[in-house]
Amino acid sequence: MRRWSWRGPARMVALALLAVGLAGCGGTNAASAKGTVSVAYAGALVNLMERRLGPAFSQATGYGYEGRGAGAVALANEIRSKLIAPDVFISASATAYKPLQGAANGDIVSWYITFAGDSMVIGYNPKSQYAARFAAAASGAEPWYQVLETPGLRLGRTDPKLDPKGVNTLYTLQLAEAYYHLPGLAAKIIGPDENPAQIFPEEELVARLTAGQLDAGFFYLNEVKDAGIPYITLPKQINLSDPSLASAYAAATYTSASGTVQHGAPILFSVTIPATVKNEAGAVAFTRYLLGEQGQALLTSSGFLALPITFTGDAAKVPAGLAQYARG
C-alpha cells in the first residue's frame, strides 16, 4: 500500500486553502477601542480585503476590521438565516440582495451604492502543462476556447446557485457562442451548468489554481491582478465589463432553481449596510473609506474599473453619514 505523503502539490493545496480560510474569518486590530467592523464580501475580494483594504481602513480610522468572504448569494442566505450579522455587505451583483429586500424579508437591505466595475477573464497556472497554449491564447495566436476544450484540462469556476461570478461565467460563454458563431461552445467547455467536476467555492478558486490543482479558471480581473496570475483578456462583447453594452449582455440568461430567469448585465460591485448592523458608526466609516479617495485608489490598482458612484434604493434608510451618496 502506498503511503500518502505530506509533500508536493497536496501540501501546497492544503496550505493555500488554509491561508484562504484564515483570511476569510480573520481580523485587523480586533481589539480597537472604537470596536470592530464586520464586513461580509464577495469572495473575489479576499486578497484585496484581507491584505490591503481592511488593514488600511483600520490604520486610517482606528476601527478594528473583521472580514468574511464567500459567494455573495451564499452570504445573503446566511444573513437571512441569521447565521451571520455583518455591519457591511459587499456584493458583485445587486441580484444577491433580493433575498434580503422587502417587508417579507425583514427589509434587511433597502439600499445599496454601486462603486466599481469588473471584467471576466480566464486565469491560468503558468506551470500548467498547457501554459504555452494559454500564453498563445493571451497573445491572440490561438483561440482561447479551443484551449479550454482540450480533454483532461482542469477548469475551475464557481457555483451559479451561490455566486454571481458563477452565473457571469455562464453568461460569458453564452455570449461567446453568439460572438464567435459557435453554437454549443459552452457545453463543450463546461458541460452542464452545475458540473461538480468544475465547481469550487469562490473564496478557494484562486488558491486552488495557484497551488496547481487547476490549469485554468474563470475569474474577475481584480482577482488575477491581485494574485499575480497570468490571464487571457476576453472581448468586451462577452466579458461583461462595459455598461454601454448592457442591452447586449441581457441576451444571456440563467434560470435559477426557483424558476426565476436572470439576464446578463455588466459586473457592478456595490455596498450596503444591512439592518443587521451592530456598529453603525464603524459601518459608515468603512463605507466612506471604501467610496473615498483612498479606497477607490486601492480598487483601481487592484484591477477594478472606475465607474461613477451611484445610489439605488430608499434614501430615507441611509445613515446620515452617507446621505451625500443618496442625494446623487
**Which residues, at least 6 apart from 73, have a Cβ–Cβ distance to it below 8 Å?**
95, 96, 99, 161, 162, 163, 164
How high is the pLDDT of residue 44? 87
Do the Cβ atoms of 111 and 318 come closer than 8 Å? yes
End-to-end CA distance of the chain: 67
User: Is residue 82 scored above 80 in pLDDT?
Assistant: yes
Please give the average per-residue pLDDT across 17-28, as a whole number: 46
Which one-letter amino acid corresponds to residue 236?
K
d(CA 146, CA 130): 12
User: Is residue 34 scored above 70 in pLDDT?
Assistant: yes
178 phi and psi angles, rounded to 5 deg: -75, -40
d(CA 104, CA 130): 50
pTM listed for this prediction: 0.84
Which tens digit of pLDDT belongs to each residue from 275-301?
A: 999 999 999 999 999 999 999 999 999
Do the Cβ atoms of 16 and 210 come closer than 8 Å? yes
How high is the pLDDT of residue 260? 87
How high is the pLDDT of residue 216? 98
Closest to 295 (Cα-Cα) out of 53, 90, 112: 53
Angle at 26 between CA 25 and CA 32, to 5 degrees: 130
Which tens digit of pLDDT belongs to each residue from 181-218?
A: 999 999 999 999 999 999 999 888 999 999 999 999 99
Which tens digit of pLDDT belongs to each residue from 41-67?
A: 998 898 899 999 999 999 999 999 999
Average pLDDT, the chain: 90
d(CA 183, CA 169): 16
Do the Cβ atoms of 163 and 262 come closer than 8 Å? no
d(CA 45, CA 69): 7
State whether residue 142 is helix, strand or coil: coil
